[in-house]
Amino acid sequence: GRAVTLLREAGFGWFDLNMGCSVPKVLRQGAGAAMLDHVDNALAVARAMLAAAGPGRVGFKLRLGLDAARPVLPDLALRLEDAGAGWLTLHPRTARQGFGGTADWEALARLVPHLSIPLLASGDLFSAADGLACLERTGVAGLMYARGALHNPAVFADHAALCRGCVPKPQDAVGLKAMILRHIALARRHCPGRAALWKMRSVVPRYVRALPGARALRQELCRCEDWEAVAAALDKFLDGCDSGTAQSHLF
């Protein structure tokens, strides 16, 4: 509640509590999906956030439970709705599954009729086509692209194109380079010191993972100690991309 109050004073108005994170170091702290094993405490946190933010201004991301032996749905979802939640997001795996196996989209479809607030889907949405298939199969109100967006931020534009009945524009070398340079610019603006460089050395290979030579680029980026070296590695990898204008804003 105090965190929400401080953030509201800073100008923020909408909040989301992730009770779905399955990273072990998060679970060990009793946070993320570990909250699903202590439902009364999870509801106390939810009510404190809603009291500070106002009804409907907080959403909650859930999983099916900590493991298959301790399911929390639909009971927890209904109690969060009664507390004033504005929306819920469900990643239909247990915390113990992590990202293993296949997301149970049928669990999304089963939960939808129980709720009067929007339910968003997460899990195995690696492309815009996956997203539209999930909407059709489950009846959810919307989607939360996660790992799919990390590999391809254009997934949102692709989704919008499909919703208009258009074929998404294929990503060419020029567009890919522009997207990477934009990410670099944002990282340099918002990350302190050399943290942006270390971050981008791991992020860039995600964007090009499906292209020939991606592993070699990853290895080369790990040896880069400055932005000029990163730019040179990208130019070499995306040979023929005329990116001089874009680079002039960054290097």
Per-residue model confidence as pLDDT tens digits over 38-95: 999 999 999 999 999 999 999 999 999 999 999 999 999 999 999 999 999 999 999 9
Query: Residue 241 above 80 pLDDT?
Result: no
- Distance of CA 1 to CAs 5, 9, 44, 49, 62, Å? 6, 12, 10, 5, 19
Averaged pLDDT for residues 7-21: 97
Confidence tier at 242 by pLDDT (50, 70, 90): very low
User: What's the mean per-residue pLDDT of the chain?
Assistant: 90
Q: Who has greater pLDDT, 22 or 173?
A: 22
- pLDDT for 195: 87
Residue 250: per-residue pLDDT: 39
Question: Domain locations in the chain?
Answer: 2-163, 173-247
Catalytic member of 21, 134, 163, 224: 21
The span from the CA of 144 to the CA of 132, in Å, is 12
Q: How confident is the model at residue 198, as a pLDDT?
A: 87
pTM: 0.84
Measured between its terminal Cα atoms, the distance across the chain in Å is: 43
- What is the number of other CB atoms lying within 10 angstroms of the CB of residue 208? 21
Q: How many percent of the chain have pLDDT more than 70?
A: 95
Let me know if 191 is a catalytic residue: no
pLDDT digits (tens, 9 = 90+) for 228-239: 888 888 888 876
Question: How many residues in the chain?
Answer: 251
Is the confidence at residue 244, as pLDDT, over 50?
Answer: no
CATH of 2-163, one of 3.20.20.70, 3.90.1150.10, 3.50.50.60, 3.40.50.2300: 3.20.20.70
pLDDT at 132: 97
